[in-house]
Amino acid sequence: MPKNYYDRYAVEIRTNEHNHKRQQAHVHIYVRGESVASMFLDGTLRDGGLSSRDLKNVSKIVIENSEYYQELWDKYQSSE
């Protein structure tokens, strides 16, 4: 599971999440090591919760790296 660290945040793509339903690409968000949310690559929350400050910071990270995360998603979700 590729996990990238940004100061107090981590962003992770999980390998083959039983993607038989062809889910929209998303990442899992960690704040200070705790899994707190998942987010679509456009920066909107998929589930979970973040403080407004964390949401702003993490959204920026995800959006700025969305092409990279889309490549990882395609790579890790392609095997069924």
Report the predicted TM-score, pTM, of the whole model to 2 decimal places.
0.86
Rounded to 10 degrees, what is the CA torsion of 69, 72, 74, 78? -150
Tens digits of per-residue pLDDT, 27-49? 999 999 999 999 999 999 999 99
- H or E stretch covering 63: helix 52-64
Higher pLDDT, residue 39 or 21: 39
pLDDT of 80 over the 60 cut: no
User: What pLDDT digit, counting tens, does each position of 48-71 carry?
Assistant: 999 999 999 999 999 999 999 999
